[in-house]
Amino acid sequence: MFNNLSDKLDKALHVLKGHGKITEVNVAETLKEVRRALLDADVNFKIAKTFTNTVKEKALGQDVLTSLNPGQLMVKIVKDELTELMGGETVGINLSGNPTVILMSGLQGSGKTTFSGKLANYLKTKKTKNVLLVGCDVYRPAAINQLQVVGEQIGVEVYAEVDNQNPVEISQNAIKHAKETGKNVVIIDTAGRLAVDEAMMTEISNIHKAVNPQETLFVVDSMTGQDAVNTAKAFNDILNFDGVVLTKLDGDTRGGAALSIKSVVDKPIKFIGTGEKMEAIDVFHPNRMADRILG
Ligand code: GDP
């Protein structure tokens, strides 16, 4: 995960750690390299600039140059700032409501259906919840089949209405069904398109208004870098979602999405997807991720 970024940051900070005497010049050089590493990881230019400026201010504020361990102190400042950049605190999901309604949003291929299954499995095994999965993609029967396969795999009921073309009605009926059958969590998997379009946005906005979810999650493929951030902005403008799910972090992703999304939409990353299997889900901890990035 983020191997390239880790290597580059390691090299940038290594120079500083290796110097006997640390001067303003090599702190400046280190920060330049840190910024370059962030840009290479597909972090937006403005965010990278603000990041290094903040690190610089903190370094000056804490008198890094005259401290006992200037290298270690710099690494700590960079780590703390990376943690802040990714949201600072761990934010869990809101499981209030009976049933709790969780709405998934995002583009097609982002990993919504897979994540719906993972989350159902996670809530079932970790939080002993009784979950209902809802298939709302009325355009692609294959998507409903995929959800049914996932549901069977994890032993969770899937609600779908093959002859109904109205996702708002399907969602409302599903919640009714959940109440009748004693389910306390309803996860609604919605239709996705390959790009943000008006019809899709209207549809998900209508579902959102009709079911009034406790938790609206935006699922995004971390491999898509800056595009991920732009898509997040478009969905947040319409849905004012509660949290982000970053998928495919097991792949060769550069890290830009993870590092930029919080600054752009001011919403926490709540979960990450790290593989295709149902167990490949983790709660997102900004500090642990920063530790991983800095090795
Ligand atoms: P949807 O169209 O948004 O519902 O996306 P899918 O759930 O169908 O996922 C699209 C593809 O990405 C599928 O082949 C999934 O197996 C794969 N996928 C989803 N999440 C992950 C992940 O965290 N890691 C990897 N490697 N693949 C994933």
What is the average pLDDT score of the chain? 92
Give the lowest-confidence range in 57-61, 156-160, 243-247, 263-267.
57-61
pLDDT tens for each residue of 41-67: 999 899 999 999 999 998 888 777 777
**What is the model's pLDDT at position 21?**
65
Distance from the first to the final alpha carbon of the chain? 11
What's the CA-to-centroid distance between 105 and ligand 1, angstroms?
A: 14
Rg of the chain in Å (alpha carbons): 21
Query: For 128-149, what is the mean pLDDT?
Result: 93
Contacts of 276 (CB under 8 A, 6+ apart): 114
**What is the model's pLDDT at position 120?**
98
Binding residues for GTP: 106-113, 189-193, 247-250
* Residue 275 alpha carbon, nearest atom of ligand 1: 24
H or E element: which one contains 75? helix 70-85
Beta strands in the chain (DSSP E): 100-105, 131-135, 157-159, 185-189, 215-221, 243-247, 269-273, 281-283
Query: For 91-106, what is the mean pLDDT?
Result: 96
pLDDT-derived band at 219 (thresholds 50, 70, 90) equals very high
* Residue 118 alpha carbon, nearest atom of ligand 1: 20
Residues within a 6 A CB radius of ligand 1: 106, 108-114, 192, 247-248, 250-251, 273-276, 280
Tell me the best of 133, 196, 222, 276 to mutate to test the pocket of ligand 1, counting ligand atoms within 8 Å of each CB and taking the most.
Answer: 276
**What is the model's pLDDT at position 19?**
61
Closest to 224 (Cα-Cα) out of 249, 189, 191: 249
**What is the model's pLDDT at position 20?**
60
pLDDT-derived band at 31 (thresholds 50, 70, 90) equals very high
Q: How many other CB atoms are found less than 10 A from the CB of residue 39?
A: 16
pLDDT tens for each residue of 148-175: 999 999 999 999 998 999 999 999 999 9
* Residue 114 alpha carbon, nearest atom of ligand 1: 7
